[in-house]
Amino acid sequence: MSQARPAAMDWSTDNDTVGRAMEILGERWTVVVLREIFNGIRRFDQIREHAGVPRQVLTNRLAMLCEVGLLTRRPYQQPGERTRHEYRLTAMGFDVFPIVVAVRQWGDRYLADADGPPVVSQHRDCGAEVGVHLACAAGHHVDSPRDVVFRPGPGARAVTRTGDG
């Protein structure tokens, strides 16, 4: 018995926003750099020291994150030293926070050492752990991916078929 052809096959992926997002976020060091900045580590040497990112990789990632608009560079100068830059999140960068929390949450569940996760995220006001939870726009909690249906959106484009394919 063959499986029915999924309806999604009728829609093009040439303007896929998941693919576009992964072009920016899909490399290990990119998310690690963002994690460091969310943790308040904003200076090149401190990020390099704390996360162990190779110098050239860090240079490239920071430049890319600034170029796409997730980070902005701000000059600072220690007395008697040359001007350097620290990296600050833009509004677009802050919007990546739930993704970083979701990755941490998944990693804590499946990849933590026997002692548990090395870091916990807590709500500043009450101390409760922060995690990502899915909900629809009407406020209903989404328990499973099986509770979600994907349908063409306003930017969907039909697949163009050529030949007898």
The structure tokens listed for 77 are 């100068």
Reported as a single tens digit per residue, the pLDDT across 112-160 is: 999 999 999 999 999 999 999 999 999 999 999 999 999 989 998 998 8
Per-residue confidence band for 162, with pLDDT thresholds at 50, 70 and 90 = low
Where is 91: in which H helix or E strand?
Answer: helix 91-94
What residue numbers bound the domain in which 87 lies?
Answer: 16-147
Q: Is 72 helix (H, G, I), strand (E, B) or coil?
A: strand
For residue 75, the surrounding DSSP H or E stretch is strand 71-76
Q: Which residues contact 141 (CB under 8 A, 6 or more apart)?
A: 133, 134, 135
Name the residue type at position 139. Answer: G
Identity of the residue numbered 72 = T
pLDDT at 164 exceeding the cut of 80: no
Instruction: Please choose, from the candidates 132, 144, 146, the residue with its C-alpha nearest in 3D space to the C-alpha of residue 103.
Output: 132
What is the pTM assigned to this prediction? 0.84
Which band of pLDDT confidence, cut at 50, 70 and 90, is reported for residue 12? confident
pLDDT of residue 6: 87
* Higher-confidence position of 13 and 48: 48
Q: How many domains does the chain have?
A: 1
CA distances from residue 42 to 16, 137, 146 in whole angstroms, order as listed = 31, 34, 39
Please check whether residue 107 lies inside any domain of the structure. Answer: yes
Residue 1 lies in a domain: no
Q: What is the pLDDT of residue 132?
A: 95
Hey, how many other C-beta atoms are within 10 angstroms of the C-beta on 38?
18
Q: For the domain that residue 44 is a member of, what is the CATH number?
A: 1.10.10.10
Whether residue 53 is contained in a domain is answered as yes
In a domain, 9, yes or no: no
Q: What is the pLDDT of residues 61-115, one digit of tens each?
A: 999 999 999 999 999 999 999 999 999 999 999 999 999 999 999 999 999 999 9
Residue with tokens 């072009």: 23
Beta bridge mates, 88: 72
Examine residue 49 and state whether it is found in any structural domain, yes or no: yes
Residue 165 is assigned to a structural domain of this protein:
no
**Of 111 and 3, which is predicted with more confidence?**
111
